[in-house]
Amino acid sequence: MSKPIFLSAREAAAELGVQPATLYAYVSRGLISSVAGPGKKRRYDAADVRRLKGRRDAEEPGGARPLTGDPVLETELTLISEDGPFYRGRSAQVLAETSTLETVATLLWQSAEDPFEAEAPEAPPALPEGLGALDRLMMALAAWPLQDKAAYTQAPKLLNVKGAALLRYGVAALLDTKPVTTPVHSQVAAAFGAPANAKTLIRAALVLCADHELNTSAFAVRCAASTRAPIHAALLSGLGAFTGPRHGAASDRATAWLNGIGPDADIEIVLSERLSRGETLPGFGHTIYRERDPRADHLLAMLVKSEPNDPLVRALPRIVEVARDLYGVSPNIDFALAALQRAYGLPKDAGKILFCAGRIAGWIAHALEQYAAPEQIRPRAAYVGERPE
């Protein structure tokens, strides 16, 4: 975890938000170190890049202050580039073509053996009626120690198997079903009553949602894991962050306005009216990707290919075009999940459930990686209040 990480010139410039010429100027001034890379290309120290970025952001009026002067964390799980996320060096989009969530989980967890060979765990205890999917999952995770006497173990040889059990257990809580050994995408499709041709897209969506580096929920998981909290408690920490409308529940917001677009709607008028009322466009724009979210592009392309005659699917290119013209942003994964939900007539909260089910695999990966690190995460705050006399 302490070995230096090096970026390509394109990656370093993108992280700093500068042109390559500016990056080279930083190197010549000694602000960023570089080493020889493949061919004639050079590689740039990620720690220097992020340290400089943090300092520049802090100097901006109203700019975001870094959590520390150095990169917050190092990870070998997911690299985010303008080409999309890469899970341990493998493109998430390529994996989404054929892989299952279980396969991706095994990759992220670096399991030498298949952790999903074990039997499924018992069902969660009876939960109160009327709970939403995320609330069911929250209560089920809190009850995990009732069925797992080793719930608090930190033994590395047990953690992957427990991760597989928790993934199955968590998916069952989200779907309000019993844990089974059936692949997650098949469970989801059956619980949603989805048509047969939706199963492939459900599988792809789960893979694309599995991890996205140090997002808010993953950071919450890692904070808990750094205290050596057990996996189920670390998942609860991540789930708490995920429930917010700016994270996991964002697909609900995208679904809400998308449902207002009927087959004969004038898309330009609908979105223009939103803009005139000062309303944002949930499901469009991203804090990481400067241009397009490749996960959304991939899932939407699969949807267009699968359902070319669906009225909503036929309207998607126009929706994307108008949104870009009026708001200057492109669709993100939340919009793609909302479009998938709408096109196949999936039940309420389907997009959010898909996102959460996939992300459980990533949360477990972050917990496992953090357990292997000796440090406890303890960022410092920049105090801006009153000072003592």
In the numeric block, which tokens belong to residue 347?
A: 């039940």
The whole-angstrom separation of Cα 107 and Cα 331 is: 28
Cβ proximity of 199 and 186 under 8 Å? yes
The whole-angstrom separation of Cα 115 and Cα 160 is: 6
Q: Which amino acid is at 33?
A: S
Candidates 150, 17, 179; CA nearest to 82 is 17
Candidates 109, 99, 84, 12; CA nearest to 51 is 12
Contact partners, residue 381, CB within 8 Å, separation at least 6: none
In the numeric block, which tokens belong to residue 97?
A: 């073509």
181 phi, psi to nearest 5 deg: -90, -5
Candidates 341, 329, 248, 336; CA nearest to 290 is 329
b (16+ CB within 10 A) / e for 193-207: ebeeebbbbbbbbbb
The whole-angstrom separation of Cα 283 and Cα 288 is: 14
The whole-angstrom separation of Cα 144 and Cα 206 is: 23
The whole-angstrom separation of Cα 384 and Cα 386 is: 7
The whole-angstrom separation of Cα 212 and Cα 358 is: 11
Tell the burial category of 262 from Cβ atoms under 10 Å away from its Cβ (0-12, 13-18, 19+): exposed
Cβ proximity of 361 and 211 under 8 Å? yes
Return the CA Rg of the chain. 22
Cβ proximity of 208 and 202 under 8 Å? no
Q: How many residues does the chain have?
A: 389
Residues with catalytic roles:
286, 334
